């Protein structure tokens, strides 16, 4: 009974945190905008409703583009779930995604293969690159005790500038005005599930499959158990004979592979050539998503949907009203602070616990006094 109450409480608490974050956003909108209601309408409903003079209708295309936007963030969210579960604050997802995208793009341009196999090779190449780059902060952490957080942050910039160098001086398509690579071969492009321009590619299906794989890995395998145990209590894990170092490296390499995979799937599905000229930002979104999902892979798609929905809402709001789309960062920051706050609404949890205990005690006392009067 009490467990059920607490479970319900945790869900309500999460919703309250999200509502509070949206309330913060609303306050900012009311302060900054001349047309706050229009802005709010587009932020909250715009992503799935098209407003027409004849009435409001469900906007299927827009809904599908939201699903499409989830593809890279599901991967980066899963990556962060795995790494944060092991208590590894590796923030290198950004770099790994960009690198994975770049390597996947190069393989898609210069390899000659049959379609079907070609995509798989490109994505695996991207995953491999992401995994390899994450070896750096992971090994430095385990062998030398260097903070994975700082090294991975620095690594992001190194990766970005090295890619920009190769993009500009080695692989650039000089016939184009903008700096970009040559176009991908048709055999490498990841096709849409239904060809309707929403960019909802088969990558979405792959992403959902990986949600299941990672959930099974984390909760049904020895390695997943080790990762979670190290996150909960590293000393305990060490004393119970786990190979802590190996598992810490493993968690970050898996994180890197997922990131690299997400990057290559996004690049090959969304664009016809490699266009990223800065870090894509999916790595940071992945952190927000992992926090919303409480590091549980199963919740990642829902969190990714929520963030993609908000993102779309912010963009629409910026288009149709005077509120800039960067509002998304303020909402995210507020979600971060409240959602991750263990003490947020803790009083009520305390009250539930106290209430349950008192009830149990009352039952016991009643039983005891009954026993006393009988004797």
- The answer to whether residue 111 forms part of the interface with another protein (CB under 8 A) is no
Whole-angstrom distance, CA of residue 154 vs CA of residue 148 = 10
User: Which one, 94 or 192, has the nearer CB to another protein?
Assistant: 94
- The answer to whether residue 58 forms part of the interface with another protein (CB under 8 A) is no
User: Which one, 44 or 146, has the nearer CB to another protein?
Assistant: 146
Stretch that binds another protein, among 57-65, 109-117, 150-158, 219-227 (CB under 8 A): 150-158
Residue 28's alpha-carbon distances to 191, 334, 341, in angstroms, are 40, 12, 22
Q: What is the CA radius of gyration of the chain?
A: 24
Whole-angstrom distance, CA of residue 53 vs CA of residue 75 = 39
Among 135, 340, 362, 366, binds another protein (CB under 8 A): 340
Whole-angstrom distance, CA of residue 132 vs CA of residue 138 = 10
- The answer to whether residue 176 forms part of the interface with another protein (CB under 8 A) is no
Pairing of strands 49-52, 55-58: antiparallel
On whether the CB atoms of residues 178 and 270 are closer than 8 A, the answer is no
- The answer to whether residue 151 forms part of the interface with another protein (CB under 8 A) is yes
CA-based torsion, 201, 198, 287, 151: positive or negative: positive
Among the listed residues 6, 5, 22, 14, the one whose alpha carbon sits nearest the alpha carbon of residue 299: 14
Stretch that binds another protein, among 124-132, 210-218, 301-309, 320-328 (CB under 8 A): 320-328
Among 164, 250, 298, 353, binds another protein (CB under 8 A): 164
Q: Taking phi first (over 0 means left), then psi (-120 to 50 degrees means alpha), and beta for anything else, what does residue 121 get?
A: alpha
- The answer to whether residue 147 forms part of the interface with another protein (CB under 8 A) is yes
Q: Minimum distance from CB of 351 to another protein (Å)?
A: 17
Q: What is the dihedral of CA 172, 174, 175, 179, to 10 degrees?
A: 50
Among 11, 205, 243, 329, binds another protein (CB under 8 A): 329
Among 8, 37, 232, 333, binds another protein (CB under 8 A): 333
- The answer to whether residue 319 forms part of the interface with another protein (CB under 8 A) is no
Among 1, 55, 114, 326, binds another protein (CB under 8 A): 326
- Phi, psi (rounded to 5 degrees) for 87: 65, 30
Length of the chain in residues, anyone?
375
Q: Classify 98 as helix, strand or coil.
A: helix
Among 16, 26, 28, 63, binds another protein (CB under 8 A): 28
Q: Minimum distance from CB of 370 to another protein (Å)?
A: 42
201's enclosing H/E stretch is none
Q: Classify 55 as helix, strand or coil.
A: strand
Stretch that binds another protein, among 192-200, 208-216, 256-264, 339-347 (CB under 8 A): 339-347
Among 275, 330, 352, 353, binds another protein (CB under 8 A): 330
Stretch that binds another protein, among 101-109, 138-146, 263-271, 348-356 (CB under 8 A): 138-146
Helices (H), the chain: 2-32, 36-44, 60-85, 93-110, 117-139, 148-169, 203-220, 222-232, 234-239, 244-270, 282-292, 300-320, 327-339, 346-374
User: Which one, 329 or 360, has the nearer CB to another protein?
Assistant: 329
- The answer to whether residue 348 forms part of the interface with another protein (CB under 8 A) is no
- The answer to whether residue 206 forms part of the interface with another protein (CB under 8 A) is no
- The answer to whether residue 18 forms part of the interface with another protein (CB under 8 A) is no
Stretch that binds another protein, among 8-16, 220-228, 284-292, 347-355 (CB under 8 A): 284-292
Among 138, 155, 257, 317, binds another protein (CB under 8 A): 155
- The answer to whether residue 22 forms part of the interface with another protein (CB under 8 A) is no
Whole-angstrom distance, CA of residue 73 vs CA of residue 79 = 9
* Residues binding another protein: number (CB under 8 A): 46
- The answer to whether residue 250 forms part of the interface with another protein (CB under 8 A) is no
**Sites of contact with another protein (CB under 8 A):** 28, 31-32, 89, 91, 136, 140, 144-147, 149-151, 153-155, 157-158, 161-162, 164-165, 168-169, 234, 284, 287, 291, 324, 326-330, 332-334, 336-338, 340-344
């Amino acid at each position: 009974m009490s467990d059920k109450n607490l479970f319900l409480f945790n869900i309500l608490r999460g919703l309250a945190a999200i509502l509070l974050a949206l309330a913060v956003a609303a306050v900012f909108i009311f302060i900054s905008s001349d047309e706050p209601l229009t802005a709010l309408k587009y932020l909250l409903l715009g992503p799935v409703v098209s407003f027409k003079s004849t009435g409001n209708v469900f906007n299927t295309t827009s809904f599908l583009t939201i699903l499409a936007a989830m593809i890279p963030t599901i991967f980066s969210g899963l990556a962060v779930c795995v790494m944060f579960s092991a208590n590894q604050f590796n923030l290198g997802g950004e770099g790994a995604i960009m690198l994975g995208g770049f390597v996947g793009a190069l393989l898609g341009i210069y390899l000659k293969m049959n379609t079907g196999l070609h995509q798989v090779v490109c994505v695996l190449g991207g995953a491999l690159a992401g995994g390899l780059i994450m070896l750096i902060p992971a090994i430095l952490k385990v062998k030398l005790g260097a903070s994975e957080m700082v090294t991975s942050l620095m690594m992001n910039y190194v990766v970005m500038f090295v890619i920009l160098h190769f993009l500009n001086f080695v692989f650039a398509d000089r016939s184009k005005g903008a700096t970009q690579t040559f176009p991908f071969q048709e055999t490498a492009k990841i096709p849409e599930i239904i060809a309707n321009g929403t960019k909802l590619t088969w990558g979405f299906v792959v992403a959902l499959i990986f949600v299941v794989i990672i959930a099974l890995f984390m909760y049904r395998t020895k390695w997943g158990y080790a990762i979670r145990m190290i996150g909960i209590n590293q000393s305990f894990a060490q004393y119970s004979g786990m190979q802590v170092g190996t598992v810490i490296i493993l968690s970050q390499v898996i994180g890197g592979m997922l990131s690299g995979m997400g990057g290559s799937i996004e690049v090959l599905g969304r664009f016809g050539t490699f266009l990223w000229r800065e870090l894509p930002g999916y790595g940071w979104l992945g952190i927000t998503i992992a926090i919303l999902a409480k590091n549980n892979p199963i919740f990642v798609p829902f969190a990714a949907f929520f963030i993609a929905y908000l993102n779309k809402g912010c963009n629409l709001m910026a288009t149709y009203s005077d509120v800039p789309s960067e509002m998304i960062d303020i909402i995210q920051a507020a979600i971060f602070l409240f959602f991750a706050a263990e003490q947020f609404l803790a009083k009520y949890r305390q009250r539930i616990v106290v209430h349950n205990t008192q009830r149990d005690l009352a039952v016991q006392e009643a039983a005891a006094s009954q026993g006393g009067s009988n004797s």
